[in-house]
């Protein structure tokens, strides 16, 4: 699955929000907490709503970042069955940042279609939230 976003924030700010898990949790629409479990390893606390019913769960995740290329890879395993890999490539475009994202799902369960829809909605909100953040370099 491929997604692309263009937001009015600096490349460095977007990279910082994708790689600093304490900042990431502030802008992510369904993640409520992220605990460090080691170097670049985390326990993610997430709550999804199905209608009005909240469903909370945790899962391990790792992050890899390439500062010079402005690439970020986040890998997670949800319910010990579904492996998710998200690759973000950031590019500066004047006062904007273009985020090209590729998401891979691997699961024995037939969840790919549902997960694609959920991730598309979540990541649209994620990048709108990053764009809405205040920083002294850009408004």
With the C-alpha atoms ordered 26, 79, 115, 88, is the resulting torsion angle positive or negative?
positive
- What are the domain boundaries of the chain? 2-132
Comparing 111 with 72, the larger pLDDT belongs to 72
Q: Is the pLDDT of residue 80 over 70?
A: yes
Average pLDDT of the chain, as a whole number: 93
Mean pLDDT of 12-36: 96
What architecture is the 2-132 domain classified under in CATH? 2-Layer Sandwich (3.30)
Predicted pLDDT of residue 139: 39
Instruction: Pick 35 or 137 by higher pLDDT.
Output: 35
pLDDT score at 135: 60
- Please give the order of strands across the beta sheet that includes 82-93: 2-7, 96-106, 82-93, 71-78, 53-66, 41-50, 31-38
With 0.85 as the threshold, say if the pTM is over it: yes
Predicted confidence (pLDDT) per residue in 89-105, tens digit:
999 999 999 999 999 99
In this prediction, residue 87 has a pLDDT band, given cuts at 50, 70 and 90, of very high
In angstroms, the CA 10 to CA 87 distance is 19
For residues 82-89, average pLDDT: 97
For residue 138, the model assigns a pLDDT of: 43
């Amino acid at each position: 699955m491929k997604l692309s976003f263009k937001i009015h924030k600096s490349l460095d700010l977007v990279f910082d929000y994708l790689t600093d898990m304490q900042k990431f949790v502030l802008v992510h629409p369904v993640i409520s907490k992220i605990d460090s479990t080691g170097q670049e390893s985390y326990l993610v606390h997430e709550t999804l709503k199905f209608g009005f019913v909240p469903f909370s769960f945790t899962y391990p995740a790792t992050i890899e970042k390439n500062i010079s290329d402005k690439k970020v890879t986040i890998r997670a395993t949800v319910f010990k069955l579904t492996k998710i890999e998200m690759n973000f490539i950031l590019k500066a475009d004047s006062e904007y940042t273009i985020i090209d994202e590729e998401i891979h799902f691997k699961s024995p369960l037939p969840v790919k279609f549902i997960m694609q829809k959920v991730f598309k909605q979540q990541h649209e909100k994620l990048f709108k939230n990053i764009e809405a953040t205040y920083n002294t370099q850009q408004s």
